[in-house]
Structure 1
Amino acid sequence: MSYVIGVDLGTSAVKTVLVDRSGRVAYEVSEAYPLIQPKAGYSEQKPEDWVDATIVSLKKLLEISAVQPSEIEGVSFSGQMHGLVLVNQEGKVLRNAILWNDTRTTPQCRRIEETLGGQLLSIARNRALEGFTLPKILWVQEHEPELLDQASLFLLPKDYVRYRLTGDYAMDYSDAAGTLLLDVAGKTWSEDILNAFQLKSSLCPKLVESFDEVGTLLPEIADQTGLLASTKVFAGGADNACGAIGAGILSEGQTMCSIGTSGVVLSYEERKNLDFEGKVHFFNHGEKDAFYIMGVTLAAGYSLTWFKDTFAPQQSFDHLLAGVDQIPPGSGGLLFTPYIVGERTPHPDANIRGSFIGMDAGHKLPHFARAVMEGITFSLRESIDILRDAGKKVDEVISIGGGTKNETWLQMQADIFNAAIVKLESEQGPAMGAAMLAAYGCGWFASLQDCSAAFIRPAKRYEPNAEAAAAYEKLFSLYQQVYPQTSRLSEGLAEFR
């Protein structure tokens, strides 16, 4: 039997999965590591914690599976995007990694906008947001210049872990696209952006495809994990790119909706010159010479978690949602906007906050719970509409994440998106995408599409209900009026937070 391993380096833990040639996940292991928050708005981690947890996870994976090391042909990676790791000439980390959810860099974002103007969207294809890597580099440039002077390279989280396992420096295009330093269409580091901020081009690692072999395991890593030193290691990709691969989003017309802590609508794209004016993200895919368009709802599943923890802390999610299927579309005239931590798409607004509109004395807990689910889905519908407005046909959506655990929510997605929703038989998200990159890199399949056909199987399909879809069209138009009518109120309330 032959296997590959997918390593998914998340924000709270690393997950490793052992996958056989049929796409079956034979075993999986997760190892947590801490988050460091030295100040409000700061979010950091120690890169060595990632390395240690990955080594432990790989070792446990081999131990519990009892698979022979010779049966494992390759390893690849998925990783949290945007995090800044600075290393010196000896490969030593110079400071804690600054993560994707760190918000200290608002002044640097404004500096980027003022310096580059329209050049930013034409080259990097994305707006300057606090999550991206360039603002973090500029923060270090301004506040810790001596460290930037010592830096030989900047890396992203998974790329640092892979370097520690192989001794090879590289970054794939899908992750590089989230730095604001990549010419996304040209697939090269942008000298114009680097020069605008007096950054040396040598700070950027070599660029590779997600499925490229970048080395084998160092002997000491092989000893610590139990894997063979000859095990092939492939570059891997950004978590969202790997999530797309793991959901089979590998050809034109394919779209997925992922509802986790945040929510993502992601669609495959081959046209490199589309202009969305920064309304959505436009990144390189893990598939060669392809891209993906992505809209983000910052608080998707998190909105439901917040609601439960605040208003029904003693109830399980199953108990909380038990009555929502009895409430008709519109939740009895109650609307919720999921802006509880700000919003990303289509409103990149850090000050906007959520709201319930239309509360009356007849509303009970199930009305509010359903309104939260509807509000989250309306927010994701806004990203769906951006895709449709660009001429993309969205009549089928692969649904993954926490939103697939509730039948009512799956049907709600079909009705609100007015598209068929497909639930997968087995869903491993980015870890499966990483494993598929390794399987393709090892030559198991002639293409990622062939790998997808073998590994990914639909379980159930939900068609839109015509009556509910019509009701949701009216409700969605009302939902879209809430943001412009509450944005000034949220701005005024910001000083009291």
Structure 2
Amino acid sequence: MLLLGIDIGTSSVKVCVVDAQNQEVIASAQYPEQESPIISLQTGWAEQSPEMWWQQTGHAIALCHKKGGYDPKNISAIGIAYQMHGLVLVDKNQKVLRNSIIWCDSRAVEIGDKAFEDIGYDTCLSHMLNSPGNFTASKLAWVKQNEPEIYDQVDKIMLPGDYIAMKLTGEITTSASALSEGIFFDFQFNGLSKDITDYFGFDNELFPTVKPVFSSHGRITTEVANALQLTSGIPVTYKAGDQPNNALSLNVLNPGEVAATAGTSGVIYGVSNQLAYDPQSRVNTFAHVNYTNERKRMGVLLCINGTGSLYRWVKDSFGSDLSYQQMNELAAKAPAGSDGLRTLPFGNGAERMLNNQQVGAHLQNIDLNLHTRGHIFRAANEGIACAFRYGLDIMRENGMYPTVIRAGRTNMFLSELFAETFVNATGVPVELYNNDGSKGAALGAGIGSELFASAAEAFSNSKPIAYIEPTATKAFDEVYQSWKAVLEQHLNQ
């Protein structure tokens, strides 16, 4: 049996086909090769076209088929991972009404902050485990307030993965995990939050049918199956946000297990069995993919918006003639600490771990007679690693003390320098795996279609390919304290 995994990212769509018998990837592809654009009509705004995601999905699947090695008609189930918190609106004909307001958009911060105050801090935190902040509920409220002619046409609201599943199947569903990431879910009542819907005036009919993450979310239509060379009627049996899915792909399902990723954004994601929350909502708690009301499995998420996006900007600005590998080689030649050069990787919208402040990205302490672009590349690596340390310290304040962090050998973790800098900054060893979001989505589809008896069986062949231990935590702590001092200069300005 073959499984198709689709990962709807900010920069591209990745797909892969996995053989369920041995859990190996037969073929994979992504589209486009260059990063997808983010539409920013005003400072702090970030949008993408859902139709663009759908077109990219078709192109990526076609590229995967061209690589051969399998018969597309043998694919038996589809899993979808997607960029979290994006708002997709469709009318009764399933037509998209506006571009998606995506995860790093900051326009709704004030709306969410006011809701936090008006609903009540204790109510929000004890029931939703988060401030409404800059999440999907607040984005929907922004549309209601500022684009009433669009809001009045809305039949259903969705997250990006719900939209792709709708395009495949014609059906619209969601899950407790998805509702929780939008701050629509009440954990005390295990259902749609009446506090949120009443406060913002949202009709319950706007929300799709709620189903378990691992279940049938519809079957692919004949028209779409023919266009994608797939078998009509195969089910979509898994949908999850990219960070819960990344955790699944690394077999992070039990309390105390922790995953990390360093793509467009940087994330540390730990699993807990407690309905716990950060009093300042700097790190966020959502329902994990294996959450049930009887068996609580919560995902505690630290997010840094400007991770890979900073490194991409540095490449465009200082290394457009270089590959990322060549950049990393130059960075490795610069001394640890980058001769005092510091970077703050916070130029991609409001940062939740900084109380939704927009600090901006900074290159600080530049010495025009000393620093080279190799220093800049290394300082970017170090600044990102320091941001991870800053966020992990917040997670530690909230009772999460990882002894090892699992990560896929992808994105910034492809760099040996970055991986070493990360473990020295955090003081936590890292296990690297040959895994990515599309493979996780494919294996999730196998779990949802019951090809695997359990999640443990789905990952029975998953073994780490590298184990990286901290070697210079004391020396790096000096870099971190210097970096933290720079950050504090820019906070609350």
- Of the three residues 153, 166, 169, the one matched with 1:163 is 166
One of 229, 235, 258 as aligned partner of 1:226? 229
- Aligned equivalents of 1:412, 1:96: Cα separation in 2: 37
- Match of 2:389? 381
Deviations 1:322-348 (A, max 9, x none): 244455532334433223345625313
* CA distance, structure 2, for counterparts of residue 44 and residue 105 of structure 1: 13
The equivalent of 1:495 in structure 2 is none
Match of 2:84 in 1: 81
Paired residue type of 1:353: G
Q: Partner letter of residue 167 of structure 1?
A: G
Contact 1:35 1:43 in 2 (8 A): no
| Residue number in structure 1 paired with 2:414 | 405
- In structure 1, runs of 5+ residues without a counterpart are 492-497
Amino acid at match of 1:160: Y
Is 2:324 the partner of 1:317?
A: yes
In 1, Cα distance between equivalents of 2:82 and 2:239:
8
Q: 1:89 to 1:63 in 2, by over 3 A?
A: same
* SS of match in other structure, 1:394: coil
**Equivalent residue number for residue 3 of structure 1:** 2
**Deviations along 1:401-434, whole A, 9 cap, x unmatched?**
322222222222222211212121x222x21221
Map 1:77-476 → 2, pairs under 5 A: 77-118=80-121, 119-130=123-134, 132-184=135-187, 186-289=189-292, 290-341=297-348, 344-360=351-367, 361-400=369-408, 401-424=410-433, 426-428=434-436, 430-454=437-461, 456-465=462-471, 468-476=472-480
Q: C-alpha distance in 2, partners of 1:342/1:309?
A: 19
Offset, 1:35: 4.7
Q: Please state how far the C-alpha of 1:267 moved relative to its aligned partner.
A: 1.1
Give, in angstroms, the shift of residue 349 of structure 1. Answer: 4.1
Distance 2:309 2:412 in 1: 11
Distance 2:376 2:152 in 1: 53
1:345/1:383 contact within 8 Å kept: no
**In structure 2, how many angstroms separate the alpha carbons of the residues matched to 1:122 and 1:40?**
34
Q: Is the 8 A contact 1:262 1:297 kept in 2?
A: yes
What per-residue deviation string (whole Å, max 9, x for no partner) do you get for residues 155-210 of structure 1?
11221221232232211222222212122464411012101111111111122221
How far apart are the structure 2 equivalents of 1:170 and 1:228?
21
User: CA deviation digits over 1:11-40, x for unaligned, max 9?
Assistant: 343322100122211112334496573722
Residues 172, 235 of structure 1: 8 Å contact kept: no
Once residues 307 and 97 of structure 1 are traced to their aligned partners in structure 2, the CA distance between those partners, rounded to angstroms, is 27
| Equivalent position SS for 1:322 | helix
Task: Check the 8 A contact 1:123/1:184 in 2, yes or no.
Answer: yes
Distance 1:472 1:143, change over 3 A: same
Change (3 A) 1:162 1:363: closer
List 4+ stretches of structure 1 deviating above 6 A. Answer: none
Does structure 2 retain, via aligned residues, the 8 Å contact 1:297–1:343? no
How many residue pairs end up in the alignment? 482
Distance, in Å, in 2 between the alignment partners of 1:285 and 1:245 is: 9
CA gap of 1:326–1:51, structure 2 versus 1, over 3 A, is: closer
Query: In the alignment, is residue 20 of structure 1 matched against residue 19 of structure 2?
Result: yes
TM-score with structure 2 length normalisation? 0.89
Amino acid at match of 1:458: P
Letter matched to residue 86 of structure 1 = L
Find the counterpart in structure 2 of residue 494 from structure 1: none
Displacement of 1:308 in angstroms is 3.4
Question: Are residues 250 and 148 of structure 1, via their aligned partners in 2, closer, same or farther at CA, if it must alter by over 3 Å?
Answer: same
CA RMSD after TM alignment: 2.6
Percent of residue pairs identical: 26
Cα offsets for 1:424-474 (capped at 9, x unmatched)? 1x222x2122111111122232221331232x2211111111xx2111223
Instruction: Give the Å deviation of 1:363.
Output: 4.0
Give the letter aligned to residue 467 of structure 2. Answer: R
Residue 78 of structure 1 and its aligned partner are, at CA, apart by 0.9
8 Å Cα contact 1:84/1:154 also seen in 2: yes
* CA spacing shift, 1:484–1:362, aligned 2, 3 Å: same
Is 1:482 the equivalent of 2:481? Answer: no
**Secondary structure of 1:26's aligned partner:** strand
